[in-house]
Amino acid sequence: MDKQQERASSETKVTETKAERHKQRQKKLKAGVDAKIAAAQEEKGILLVLTGNGKGKSTSGFGTIARAVGHGQRAAVVQFIKGNWECGERNLLEQAGVKFYVMASGFTWETQDKQQDTAAAEAAWQQAEQLLSDDSVDCVMLDELTYMLSYHYLDVDRVINALNNRPKMQHVIITGRACHRAVLDIADTVSEVLAVKHAFDNGVKAQVGFDY
């Protein structure tokens, strides 16, 4: 065997060794995943919190609502602080039968009226409470609810009580920055969206079809 053949043979053995190691790692990984799947047998409604300072929390929540609708489930959305301006997700999802309830006062820094904001939050929350007691609704999104607790427009205990006593199989999605610890404590899944960079901070205006 000449040197070129020896080199080729050696490279083949190295490749085969790497392939075998990869195979063994993947087998170990699969065994771990299979074990977790086998252990996860409970079925229940999930409380998902999407929080953090990054962009995309509501977008992610609407994606989950769309998924539920795609499976023929009934979903509803309560939007806090967003106001009555056009919302692309609402335009689409209402056509698919998703009910929207919107806190019409808009962002609290625009109204600068705590009494008005508190009354608007109360009205929106009453709609939320009805949804959270309706076992025919499979998935409820409480968009930007976290601000209602941060600004003390809603009582934390009242919110926690409604979440804890909702129908067993009802899923709930809560979005917004700085989620209250009491909500985080009862959540099943919490994802924090990290703000690395945002176009708006560099003077780029919010754009139709991408930002709203």
Tens digits of residue pLDDT in 67-86: 999 999 999 999 998 666 67
Residue 103 and residue 151 in one domain = yes
Residue 127 and residue 171 in one domain = yes
- How many distinct structural domains can be found in the chain? 2
Residue 89 and residue 186 in one domain = yes
Amino acid 166: pLDDT: 98
Amino acid 111: pLDDT: 55
Q: Are 92 and 70 in contact (CB under 8 A)?
A: no
Torsion of CA 125, 184, 210, 120, to 10 degrees: 20
SS3 56: coil
Determine the structural domain holding residue 98 and report its residue range: 47-202
Q: Are 138 and 17 in contact (CB under 8 A)?
A: no
**Residue 133 domain-assigned (yes or no):** yes
SS3 79: strand
Residue 36 and residue 104 in one domain = no
Residue 138 and residue 37 in one domain = no
Residue 70 and residue 137 in one domain = yes
**Residue 207 domain-assigned (yes or no):** no
Amino acid 112: pLDDT: 63
**Residue 126 domain-assigned (yes or no):** yes
Residue 64 and residue 37 in one domain = no
Q: The domain spanning residue 66 has which CATH number?
A: 3.40.50.300
Residue 121 and residue 161 in one domain = yes
**Residue 177 domain-assigned (yes or no):** yes
Amino acid 174: pLDDT: 98
Amino acid 83: pLDDT: 61
Taking every pair of C-alpha atoms in the chain, what is the biggest distance, in angstroms? 90
Task: List the beta bridge partners of residue 132.
Answer: none
Amino acid 2: pLDDT: 65
Give the number of other Cβ atoms within 10 Å of residue 60's Cβ. Answer: 14
**Residue 209 domain-assigned (yes or no):** no
Residue 35 and residue 95 in one domain = no
C-alpha–C-alpha distance, residues 160 and 153, integer Å? 14
Between the alpha carbon of residue 79 and those of residues 35, 156, 162, 182, the distances in Å are 39, 18, 17, 21
Amino acid 160: pLDDT: 98
**Residue 9 domain-assigned (yes or no):** yes
Residue 65 and residue 149 in one domain = yes
C-alpha–C-alpha distance, residues 85 and 143, integer Å? 15
- DSSP letter at 53 equals S
Residue 67 and residue 146 in one domain = yes
SS3 170: coil
Amino acid 90: pLDDT: 92
**Residue 179 domain-assigned (yes or no):** yes
pTM, whole model, 2 decimals?
0.83
**Residue 15 domain-assigned (yes or no):** yes
Between the alpha carbon of residue 74 and those of residues 10, 17, 65, 136, the distances in Å are 61, 52, 9, 7
Residue 58 and residue 158 in one domain = yes
Q: Which residues of the chain have pLDDT under 70?
A: 1-3, 5-6, 8-9, 11, 14, 16, 40, 82-85, 105-112
**End-to-end C-alpha distance for the chain, whole angstroms:** 68
CB neighbours of 89 closer than 8 A, spacing ≥ 6?
58, 59, 62, 65
Amino acid 25: pLDDT: 85
